[in-house]
């Protein structure tokens, strides 16, 4: 590419950083995470990453089908029970979530408005013939992040390319505003709730204080005839609860924390996600969906949607007890570099690679503990060179791998799908020396696709 001279682009990097600050590509610093006085630019690539136009548009086109699929799964309690049976027997976190699902199923849902803010993540798999195919890594049904920052990065890279004398390439960076689309979904759910004075609550972690700790439960939440109130909003009724956190075991540090999650599920507030949709995003459900005939169960009248979704699947393999699971474990132990071992966790930094796969599987292969994981083909993208801009880090060129995320928004009321949209994209890039980890984990940086 034209951006392979570190001397020429040292000053360009300073222009890029100033542009990031100007356009609000900002984050608080690790040293002062709660200070609004000290901020820095969020890490990003100096140049946008070339992405084939065909696979980019393929990812956008399939998103509304994925929205429908996730919503259909969330309504099928029998399927969730079948798919997660082996996992909840050994994975306590998933089991606790599933217990809440069962309680709500028994009591009856108090709210028929469903809000989904999803992000489906992909990488480009390099085939032996040199072509690239779109393969899904996962779909995030809870805390699908970076819609805000990714709305602000296009202007930064347009300026960089313009200053670098590449005005034509700058026009190949698309407008992107997932934040507006995600907000539309929240606003529609709030509107359908039908209480003009009710508020939207965003559950986030504040410094060392967990969103579900006992102070939050005892002092700031209470239930009054299934209506959800909060002292954080001056005792106002809550119409929508958005879970920016709550997807990791460490978010539930006590029984009171689990009580808080149940409290919210029982309330009339619209949950994003509700407990069913949270479970629909688990890795085990992802693996079961790849089995023959399962997609047709949810999309029986839409063969084109089934075809487009299935085309994005990488190889996914069960580790359940039995002959098939035994075969898959033997396959992984023989060629571990071909696979990724995935636990039922979100947030980056949880997946297992290479020789560590052998260590984990050797320890659990004779035990039902192995069913806490799924096995997936390791996607093999082609590295591309770029500069990763981080605060106080030296400017150096790196071999990089990128991950494309596509945001989807849907709102359903009863049986009526009120909204179903693809609302934008996110590109994250990391050095090829790192196997796993996202922007929040300090590994990947923000990026933009340069369509080619």
User: Which sequence positions are flagged as catalytic?
Assistant: 119, 138, 140, 145, 283, 342, 346-347, 428
206 is known to lie in a ligand binding site: no
- The distance from CA 217 to its chain's CA centroid, rounded to whole angstroms, is 27
CA-to-CA separations, 174 to 118, 136, 149, 155, 427, in angstroms, rounded: 21, 22, 15, 10, 12
376 is known to lie in a ligand binding site: yes
140 is known to lie in a ligand binding site: yes
**Maximum pairwise Cα distance, the chain:** 66
**What is the helix, strand, coil percentage profile of the chain, to 5?**
40, 25, 35
End-to-end Cα separation, the chain, in angstroms:
13
343 is known to lie in a ligand binding site: yes
374 is known to lie in a ligand binding site: no
184 is known to lie in a ligand binding site: no
349 is known to lie in a ligand binding site: yes
324 is known to lie in a ligand binding site: no
350 is known to lie in a ligand binding site: yes
Cα–Cα distance, 37 to 31 (Å, whole number) = 12
Classify burial at 60, counting beta carbons within 10 Å of its beta carbon; exposed 0-12, middle 13-18, buried 19 or more: middle
342 is known to lie in a ligand binding site: yes
Contact yes or no for 440/414 (Cβ under 8 A) = no
403 is known to lie in a ligand binding site: yes
353 is known to lie in a ligand binding site: yes
The b-or-e profile of 117-151 (16+ CB within 10 A means b, else e) is: bbbbbbbbbeeeeeebbbbbbbbbbbbbbbbebbb
Q: What does the block give as tokens for 386?
A: 């770029």
DSSP characters over 196-226: TT-EEEEE--BTTB-TTSHHHHHHHEEEETT
Q: What does the block give as tokens for 31?
A: 């040293």
Contact yes or no for 143/321 (Cβ under 8 A) = no
287 is known to lie in a ligand binding site: no
347 is known to lie in a ligand binding site: yes
Contact yes or no for 262/275 (Cβ under 8 A) = no
Angle between helices 255-266 and 92-107 (to 10 degrees): 30
30 is known to lie in a ligand binding site: no
177 is known to lie in a ligand binding site: no
Q: What does the block give as tokens for 415?
A: 């049986």
424 is known to lie in a ligand binding site: no
331 is known to lie in a ligand binding site: no
Residues within the annotated binding site for substrate? 119, 428
Residues within the annotated binding site for Mg(2+)? 138, 140, 346
Residues within the annotated binding site? 119, 138, 140, 283, 342-351, 353, 376-379, 403, 428, 430, 436
Residues within the annotated binding site for ATP? 138, 283, 342-351, 353, 376-379, 403, 430, 436
């Amino acid at each position: 590419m034209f951006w392979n001279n570190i001397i020429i682009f040292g000053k360009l990097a300073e222009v890029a950083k100033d542009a990031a600050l100007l356009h609000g590509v900002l984050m608080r610093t690790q040293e002062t995470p709660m200070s609004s006085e000290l901020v820095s630019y969020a890490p990003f690539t100096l140049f946008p990453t070339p992405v084939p136009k065909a696979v980019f548009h393929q990812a956008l086109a399939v998103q509304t089908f994925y929205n429908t699929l996730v919503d259909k799964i969330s309504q099928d309690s029998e399927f969730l029970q079948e798919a997660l049976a082996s996992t909840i027997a050994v994975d306590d976190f998933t089991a606790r979530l599933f217990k809440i699902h069962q309680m709500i199923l028994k009591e009856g849902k108090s709210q028929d408005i469903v809000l989904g803010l999803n992000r489906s993540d992909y990488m480009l798999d390099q085939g032996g013939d040199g072509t690239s195919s779109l393969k899904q890594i996962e779909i995030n049904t809870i805390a699908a992040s970076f819609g805000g920052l990714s709305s602000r990065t296009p202007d930064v890279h347009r300026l960089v390319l313009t200053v670098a004398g590449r005005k034509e390439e700058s026009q190949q960076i698309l407008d992107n505003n997932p934040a507006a689309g995600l907000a539309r979904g929240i606003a529609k759910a709030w509107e359908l709730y039908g209480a003009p004075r009710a508020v939207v609550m965003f559950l986030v972690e504040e410094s060392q204080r967990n969103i579900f700790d006992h102070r939050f439960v005892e002092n700031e939440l209470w239930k009054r005839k299934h209506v959800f109130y909060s002292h954080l909003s001056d005792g106002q009724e809550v119409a929508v609860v958005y879970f920016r956190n709550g997807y990791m075991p460490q978010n539930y540090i006590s029984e009171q924390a689990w009580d808080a999650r149940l409290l919210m599920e029982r309330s009339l507030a619209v949950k994003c996600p509700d407990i069913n949709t949270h479970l629909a995003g688990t890795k085990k459900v992802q693996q079961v969906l790849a089995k023959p005939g399962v997609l047709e169960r949810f999309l029986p009248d839409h063969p084109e949607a089934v075809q487009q979704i299935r085309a994005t699947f990488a190889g996914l393999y069960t580790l359940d007890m039995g002959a098939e699971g035994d075969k898959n474990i033997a396959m992984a132990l023989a060629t571990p570099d071909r696979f990724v071992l995935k636990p039922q966790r979100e947030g980056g930094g949880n997946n297992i690679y290479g020789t560590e796969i052998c260590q984990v599987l050797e320890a659990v292969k004779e035990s039902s503990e192995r069913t806490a994981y799924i096995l997936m083909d390791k996607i093999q993208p082609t590295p591309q060179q770029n500069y990763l801009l981080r605060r106080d880090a030296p400017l150096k060129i790196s071999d990089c791998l990128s991950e494309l995320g596509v945001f989807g928004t849907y709102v359903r009321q009863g049986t009526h799908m009120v909204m179903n949209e693809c609302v934008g994209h996110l590109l994250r890039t990391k050095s090829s020396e790192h196997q796993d980890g996202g922007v929040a984990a300090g590994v990947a940086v923000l990026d933009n696709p340069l369509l080619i």
